[in-house]
Chains A and B, each alone.
Chain A
Amino acid sequence: MNSPRASDTATRVRGLAGTGKIVDVLAPLVAVLAAFLVGGLVVAAIGESPLKFYSTLFRGAFANADSVGLVLFNATPLIFAGLAVAFAFRAGLFNIGGEGQLYIGSFACTWVALQLPGAPRVLLIPVLILASAVGGGLWAAIPGYLKARFGVHEVINTIMMNFIAVGLTSYLVIAIFKEAGQMTPQTATIPIAGELPRLAYFFQSLGVPLPAANPLNASFLIALAAVWLAWFILHRTTLGYEIRAVGHNASAAEYAGINVRRTLVLAMVLSGAFAGLVATNEVMGFRHRFLDNFSSGIGFMGIAVALLGRNSPLGVLFAALLFGVLNTGALEVDVFTDVPRELILVVQAVTIILVVVGNEIVQRRRGRGAALTPRSEAASIDRDGSAEVS
């Protein structure tokens, strides 16, 4: 039934579609390599050896079990933050508020822990994980609701709420919960029963010489579980189906009887919950207390991680590991070479830019394809309320 020209088109299109998968993986890899190249050029430009720079970087990340443990430790919060962004992306939402959500999640976790001094481990740990998720989720629910109800763009509101979260937790820590007799703006430590075990002993028992002092802890396992969970929610639950439908095509979702507003809020809550889980590493696993201003941009790094991971949970895992390598290596570079760590930030930023640009080029050559970034158009809601009859 096809005329010759139609089948020509079909072959061409099919050909490209076939290579799609490879391109999807290859494009970010090429971007990363190109960014490394840029970094190397900068190093050379300041008269240092790029070779030494990168060998130090990778030594810092891979020299021994301890380094690798640090990589995983540094990757852990980025996995959560990346999942938060990627998950919201899937609903067509751009959650820039990971930073605020992880602060609130961490504070909620700490606060609950401090309220339950005598609780047994089996109870406290799940409760604290829940508290982290709920804290982050509720904080994210606010911009989600404002988007769904009033159509206010979530980007601005999540940014505003980052500042508010930092101020609020700072106030709570300093004015109310500060550890007595200490000047560091931090709370008292949480009960030992609420601490996540470090993985050193576990790995040692497997014969991996991970030093006891290595901060890698069970939060990493929670992060792996979260990767699976994010995938499972998106692809194996009705809610995930609805989230993806809303993200891809809000008006089709509405047509299909999906409550678009509710789905948007729920997606935002889940996204915030992932961000809140950063507390499992920072509070339960590492510091065992809430330290004012501890994050220094984990939430923002999550955006980069999600982007690099093409908003798929597994991609987030790999991207977070890459950033973990870079951050861990950065410290080594900082301590042992004359190149400052800030160069790593530059490499990370260049990676993101190259990834988005590369993606657009690939998409254009392919004609069309899955959008890398949310179609804000699709998820925007008229104030007229055509999205819902109430």
Chain B
Amino acid sequence: MFELVVLDSALRMATPLILASLGGLFSERSGVVNIALEGILLTGAFASILATYYTGDPWVGVAAGIFAGILVSLIHAAVTVIFKADQIVSGVAINLLAAGATQFLTWITWGSSSNSPPVGGMARWSLPEAWGPVARSINVVIGHYPPLVYVALVAVAVAHVVLWHTPFGLRLRATGEHPAAVDALGVSVRKMRFAGVLLSGALAGLGGAFLALNTHQFVKNMSAGRGYIALAAMIFGKWNPVGAALACLLFGYAEAVQMGLQGQHVPSQFVQMIPYVLTMVALVGVIGRARPPAALGKPY
């Protein structure tokens, strides 16, 4: 169970979850529930393949994934922050929209509403071999995972620093706790919430890009509930970047173990349920100590 391959697999499985849950974190810290993560992942996945398909450059695909994520989250921000509509309803609608729109566009682009043709993926990072043995041993480290895995890990650290050590983070968290107080201090609640939701779109879009580029293809509904799992991981991680990332790793690990256990007569359905059951148990046990942002879900 602790084989390297399983751990590797866990990390890769966790990567889109980590990115999406960091996204959820920024949104929820600003006080906006973001169930739309699922749809954003999906849209990011689609956009990244579309762009890669036409440009041949997966990094353009990554940019497109981020951009698409921001675009979708813009809808969420507008509906919930400007029009102050219910955040969960908006999220549900956006997920529906994303499912329909990505399939529709897949059909328009490639004539199949279920998947795109394969595209070239992202090359592993590496220094030129010619640089000698040092470069080669560095390559062993930085070339071990797809590049976005490292990006995700760095994003965790950056998110932590941003949330806890910058004025932006302080204001963002304050907005999620007590928007009226933030307003009274002359900081625009609307701007902070937009920032939180759009950042969430960018990160989840990036997660979608990883999901698709790592499989070299867009497949309909390929987010397959990962947005919800990311949300659960975020709660599980008590709305902290490091906690959320650890929870994602745990979920990724559960999935990897489930695959690793195959052929050993553990019904796969049960292993697949682990993250969900874990989340429910954790919510009962953890939520008492972990406090969601006080103004979460409340329009201001």
By the criterion of a CB under 8 Å from any partner CB, how many residues of chain B are at the interface? Answer: 44
Query: Is A157 at the interface (CB under 8 A from chain B)?
Result: yes
Inter-chain contacts of A303 with B (CB < 8 A): 89, 92
Contact string against B for A residues 333-368, beta-carbon threshold 8 Å, 1 for contact and 0 otherwise: 000000011111110111011001101110000000
Inter-chain contacts of A300 with B (CB < 8 A): 92, 95-96
Interface-lining segment among A130-138, A146-154, A244-252: A146-154
Q: Given A46-B108, A164-B273, A376-B297, are A356 and B89 also a contact pair (CB < 8 Å)? A: yes
Which of B90, B100, B284 is A356 in contact with, Cβ under 8 Å?
A: B90
Q: What is the minimal beta-carbon distance from A281 to any residue of chain B, in angstroms? A: 22
Q: How far apart sit A161 and B283, CA to CA, in the bound complex (Å)?
A: 13
Query: Is A171 at the interface (CB under 8 A from chain B)?
Result: yes
Inter-chain contacts of B90 with A (CB < 8 A): 353, 356
Interface-lining segment among B63-71, B210-218, B227-235: B227-235
Q: How far apart sit A300 and B98, CA to CA, in the bound complex (Å)?
A: 14
A304 contacts B279, CB within 8 Å? no
Chain A residues touching B, majority SS: helix
Query: Is B84 at the interface (CB under 8 A from chain A)?
Result: yes
A164 contacts B104, CB within 8 Å? no
Q: Given A168-B269, A346-B104, A352-B96, are A152 and B89 also a contact pair (CB < 8 Å)? A: no
Which of A156, A171, A346, A349 is B231 in contact with, Cβ under 8 Å?
A: A156
Q: How far apart sit A175 and B284, CA to CA, in the bound complex (Å)?
A: 31
Which of B79, B101, B267, B276 is A346 in contact with, Cβ under 8 Å?
A: B101
Inter-chain contacts of A340 with B (CB < 8 A): 103-104, 107, 113
Query: Is B139 at the interface (CB under 8 A from chain A)?
Result: no
Query: Is A163 at the interface (CB under 8 A from chain B)?
Result: yes
Q: What is the minimal beta-carbon distance from A382 to any residue of chain B, in angstroms? A: 11
Query: Is A167 at the interface (CB under 8 A from chain B)?
Result: yes
Q: Given A167-B270, A171-B269, A353-B75, are A360 and B232 also a contact pair (CB < 8 Å)? A: no
Q: What is the minimal beta-carbon distance from A340 to any residue of chain B, in angstroms? A: 4
By the criterion of a CB under 8 Å from any partner CB, how many residues of chain A are at the interface? Answer: 49
Inter-chain contacts of A349 with B (CB < 8 A): 93-94, 96-97, 100-101
Q: What is the minimal beta-carbon distance from A92 to any residue of chain B, in angstroms? A: 12
Q: How far apart sit A335 and B273, CA to CA, in the bound complex (Å)?
A: 37
Query: Is A235 at the interface (CB under 8 A from chain B)?
Result: no
Q: Given A156-B235, A171-B269, A352-B96, are A357 and B228 also a contact pair (CB < 8 Å)? A: no
- Closest Cβ neighbor of A142 among chain B residues: B280
Q: How far apart sit A307 and B88, CA to CA, in the bound complex (Å)?
A: 12
Query: Is A383 at the interface (CB under 8 A from chain B)?
Result: yes
Which residues of A, 133-184, contact B by the 8 Å Cβ criterion?
Answer: 146, 150-153, 155-157, 159-161, 163-164, 167-168, 170-171, 174-175
Q: Given A168-B273, A171-B270, A383-B288, are A157 and B283 also a contact pair (CB < 8 Å)? A: yes
Query: Is A83 at the interface (CB under 8 A from chain B)?
Result: no
Which of A155, A167, A174, A356 is B93 in contact with, Cβ under 8 Å?
A: A356
Which residues of B, 107-146, contact A by the 8 Å Cβ criterion?
Answer: 107-108, 113
20 cross-chain CB contacts under 8 A: A96-B92, A157-B280, A161-B276, A163-B273, A164-B273, A167-B276, A300-B96, A340-B103, A341-B113, A342-B113, A345-B103, A345-B104, A348-B96, A349-B94, A352-B92, A353-B75, A353-B90, A356-B86, A356-B90, A361-B83
